[in-house]
Each structure stands twice: as C-alpha cells, then as structure tokens.
C-alpha cells in the first residue's frame, strides 16, 4: 500500500514540476524580428526619434552614433546625456566625443526606451561602409529576454521568460556588470573562464594582451588570426591559441581558438559562438541559454516574423510608421485629411496612466460592438513621443475620432459613454 501511495505521490510531483515548467514559459509578449548580416555583423532596424535606420547590434558596446546621424535622427545638441559611471567604452577601445540623449528608441513594435544616453562617435568609415547610422547595445533589452538565431537571421524578444523552445537544462547564470556587459562562463578542459558576450568581434574568444599571456602558458599556439580595432574593419593579424575540449552551456565547440586583441579592455566571447547554436539572454533573471540550432523544433507561432495586423473588432496597437502610411503623413505639410475609407478611433495611452488602463477594456468593447463599421487603434504615448508631439498630445488618455476623408475630433479623458455618442453622431452619420 505504501509503495502505491509513494508512486502516486511521485506522479503528482512530476506533474506539478512539468506544469510549473510550462507555466514558466508563458510570455506576455513575443516578437520575432528579422535582421541582416553585412561582413558578418548583425544589422538591425531601429527607430530613433521617429526616424528609422539600420544599426549594428553590439552587446559589448554602447549606444553610439556617427557624426552625421546626430542631425538626421534629430538628436538635440543642447540636451546632454550621461552614462552612469563611465566616460568612454567599457570593454573595447573606441574613440568617442560628447554624450547626448535619444528621446525615443524602438526596435519592433513592443521594445522601446526613452531618454537613453548615446555617444557621438568620431569618424568611423567602416560603419558607414556597412550602411548603418551607428551602434546599439543591449540597453533596449534589459527588461526582456533577447534570443539570437543566426542561422535563421531572427531575433526574438520575449517577456518575461525565454521562448518555449529553449531548454531549461541548457542554461547558466551570468553576471551583469557596469555597462550592461553580459559576463558568461566558458569551459576549457573543465576549467571555467568568464568572458563578456560580444556580437561585434570576430572569432570565438578574443583576449586582452594580459589574458593572452596567461593563457599562452596552458594552450598551444595556432595560426595568426585577424582582429578588429574598435569599430574598424577586421584586418590586423594577431597571435592565436588552440583551445582543447571547449564547452559552452553543455555544447561542445569544435575547433575553438582564442586570438589576442590588444584593442580590448576586457576579454570577450566573440560572435562566432552564434554559428554553433541559438542563444537566449535573460536580462531579468540573469540566465543565459544556449543550444544547437535544431535540438528542439521551433513552434510555428514563435518562428514567423511578427507583422502589424489590423483586426476588425479589435483595439489594434499601431506605430508612428503605421500612422504615416494609413492615417495621415504629416511630414508633407498639408492639412490633416484622413486617407482611409473607414472611420477610425485612436486611443493615446500609457501603462502608468490609471484612467488609460481603466478605459482600455471599454474601448475593446466598443471595437467589438462597431465591428465592420469603425476601426479602433491604440498608440503607446511613451513609445511614440514624436507622434504625440506632432499633435500636441499631453494629457492622457487622448482620443482621435476621425471620419472617412475628414479631420480628427479630439477628446481627452476616460468617458466611454461620451465616446460612444461621438461615434454614433459623428462617425456613423
């Protein structure tokens, strides 16, 4: 009898553990965004102060812009920014000038930040050759999980947990150091070493001169390898070491090498690690996941690039770019004339705004009620500051009621009964 009870208990325990694991991966936000590679560098599209451009993603770098980007991205020269406790790059030698602020920065539809500091770079012709405006760091993802899939050229941003296909038993802890450096472990012949994750530097391991001297006493020399000098092209040849029995988060790394890079301030795990598998960086819980590309099938819902879809009968989140393309392009300087053929309601809101949060479910009800007659949108005012500034949106919630081919009727406050009346009298007459 005791044996049966024990078996039942173990089954229930296993069920609870499995259930807990499943619950842990239920995310409130998942967005899949494509990126491209040029000369091996990861190039992502981002929107800064309402202007969309390409940037290199460098997780061991900092936000930094080319000189000409300051004007193109509307960086206010009179608004100085500050990095918390450093005046230049923490992990590599990069010549920089003053620090400014980027009022709004966004990648995709859900990841954004306001008033991030940004270095002004000195002239960097190689970045210009890559066709980018500058460099973005991991600062945008500090409240998310960033997953990089180099094979499929996708980044996935989730909150608050890793994607479901990343295995729990393929993870390690990491330390987040000043400058948002992700210091993660790598094992060589069973001995751990701590390196800053770097998505810029070529090769698997790049060592400072001091670390290279120490490692040279333990590992055999290899052929010379090319390294990059800051944000210049990979050109200079330096000595290398052959690393035997190298493991990273339970994955064996074949033909591992370490190269000396005299332009680093701290040794790094270079972007070649991305050729061996998918990596997830959980900034919230300071966990790093890594597994071979096809260890687990990626569910269809988490594999496709996320697109902005407008659903009739729903309160649809939209961006400034969607507004310009489908509502009104105010950059042309004409009078506001809505270019759609169906009336719309736009709710400007923010998460910190209590009345906004109370109004949202009421707006969702109205969207369902007027399905087929009126389209309903919502704009996150924290993310879309340029759009708010353009139309003088200061108090929240602010609502635009726009008839087909007409100009907006603007109302402020959380009064759904009044808004239903406006829809009936102004939009459906």
Q: Which residues are catalytic, by number?
A: 353, 356
Which residue reads 């996941």 in tokens? 289
Contact between 308 and 33 (Cβ < 8 Å): no
Structure tokens at 183: 């210091």
What is the pairing mode between strands 246-248 and 251-253?
Answer: antiparallel
- What is the layout of strands, in order, in the sheet containing 409-412? 315-317, 375-380, 344-349, 398-402, 409-412
Which residue reads 């370490």 in tokens? 258
Give alpha helix (H) positions in 86-225.
Answer: 125-129, 209-215
First to last CA, the chain: 76
31 Cβ partners below 8 Å, 6+ apart? 108, 109, 110, 111, 156, 157, 158, 306
396 Cβ partners below 8 Å, 6+ apart? 348, 349, 350, 353, 355, 356, 381, 412
Torsion of CA 334, 339, 345, 347, to 10 degrees: -50
């Amino acid at each position: 009898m005791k044996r049966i009870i024990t078996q039942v208990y173990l089954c229930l325990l296993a069920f609870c553990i499995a259930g807990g694991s499943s619950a842990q991966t239920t995310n409130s936000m998942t967005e899949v965004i494509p990126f491209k590679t040029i000369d091996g560098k990861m190039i992502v599209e981002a929107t800064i102060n309402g202007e969309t451009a390409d940037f290199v993603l460098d997780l061991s770098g900092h936000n930094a812009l080319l000189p000409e980007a300051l004007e193109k991205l509307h960086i206010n020269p009179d608004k100085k920014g500050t990095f918390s406790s450093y005046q230049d790059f923490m992990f590599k030698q990069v010549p920089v000038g003053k620090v400014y602020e980027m009022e709004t920065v966004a990648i995709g539809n859900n990841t954004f930040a306001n008033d991030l500091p940004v270095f002004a770079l000195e002239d960097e012709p190689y970045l210009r050759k890559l066709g980018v405006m500058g460099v973005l760091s991991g600062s945008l993802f500090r409240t998310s999980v960033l997953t990089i899939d180099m094979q499929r050229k996708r980044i996935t941003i989730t909150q608050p947990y890793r994607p479901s296909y990343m295995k729990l038993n393929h993870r390690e802890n990491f330390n987040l150091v000043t400058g948002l450096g992700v210091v993660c472990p790598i094992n060589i012949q069973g001995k751990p070493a701590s390196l800053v994750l770097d998505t810029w530097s070529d090769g698997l391991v790049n060592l400072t001169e001091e670390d290279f001297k120490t490692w040279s006493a333990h590992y055999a020399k290899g052929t010379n390898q090319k390294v990059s000098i800051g944000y210049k092209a990979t050109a200079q040849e330096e000595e290398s070491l052959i690393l035997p029995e190298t493991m990273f988060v339970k994955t064996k790394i074949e033909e591992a090498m370490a190269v000396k890079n005299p332009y680093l301030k701290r040794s790094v795990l270079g972007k070649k690690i991305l050729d061996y598998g998918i990596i997830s960086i959980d900034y919230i819980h300071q966990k790093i996941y890594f597994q071979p590309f096809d260890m687990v099938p990626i569910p269809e819902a988490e594999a496709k690039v996320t697109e902005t879809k407008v659903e009739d009968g729903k309160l649809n989140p939209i961006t400034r770019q969607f507004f310009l393309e489908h509502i009104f392009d105010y950059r042309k300087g004409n009078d506001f004339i809505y270019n759609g053929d169906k009336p719309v309601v736009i709710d400007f809101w923010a998460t910190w705004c209590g009345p906004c949060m109370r109004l949202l479910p009421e707006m969702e009800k109205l969207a369902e009620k007027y399905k087929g007659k009126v389209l309903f949108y919502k704009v996150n005012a924290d993310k879309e500051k340029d759009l708010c500034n353009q139309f003088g949106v200061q108090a929240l919630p602010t609502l635009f009621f726009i008839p087909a081919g007409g100009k907006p009727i603007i109302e402020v406050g959380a009064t759904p009964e009044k808004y239903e009346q406006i829809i009936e009298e102004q939009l459906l007459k």
